[in-house]
Amino acid sequence: MPHVARIVLDVGVQTLAFDYRGFGESDGARRQHIDPWMQIEDYRNAISYVERRDDVDAGAIGIFGISYSGGHVLILAATDPRIRAVVSLVPVIDGYANMKRAHGEFRFRDLEEAIIADRRARYAGTAEGYLPHATEAPHEELSVWPFPVTAKTFSEIKRTEAPRYDKMSTVESTELLLSYNVLPYLERILNTPLLMLVAEGDNLTLWDLEIAAYNAIPSPAKELVIMPSISHMSLYSDRGDTNVAAQHTSRWFATHLAGPERAEPAQRF
Same domain for 171 and 44? no
- Average pLDDT, integer, range 134-148: 96
- Average pLDDT, integer, range 81-88: 97
Q: How many domains does the chain have?
A: 2
- Average pLDDT, integer, range 6-16: 86
- Tell me how far CA of residue 153 lies from CA of 18, 150, 235, in angstroms: 21, 5, 10
Residue 258: its pLDDT value, please?
Answer: 74
Which has more pLDDT, 75 or 128?
Answer: 75
List the Cα angle 192/196/199 in 5-degree steps. Answer: 175
Same domain for 196 and 72? yes
Q: What is the CATH number of the domain that holds 219?
A: 3.40.50.1820
Same domain for 194 and 63? yes
Same domain for 187 and 267? yes
For 69-102, give one letter per residue: b (16+ CB within 10 A) or e: bbbbbbbbbbebeebbbbbbbbbbbbbeebbbbb
- Average pLDDT, integer, range 154-183: 95
- Structural domain boundaries enclosing 33: 1-94+181-269
pLDDT of 259 higher than 80: no
Of 132, 158, 179, the last residue of a domain is: 179
Same domain for 87 and 205? yes
Confidence band of 99 (pLDDT split at 50, 70, 90):
very high
Residue 88: its pLDDT value, please?
Answer: 98
Same domain for 159 and 194? no
Same domain for 90 and 33? yes
Same domain for 186 and 87? yes
Residue 1: its pLDDT value, please?
Answer: 65
Residue 8: its pLDDT value, please?
Answer: 85
Specify the pairing of strand 168-170 against strand 130-132.
Answer: antiparallel
Same domain for 269 and 201? yes
Confidence band of 6 (pLDDT split at 50, 70, 90):
confident
Same domain for 188 and 90? yes
Of 147, 179, 211, the last residue of a domain is: 179
Query: How many whole angstroms separate alpha carbon 106 and alpha carbon 115?
Result: 15
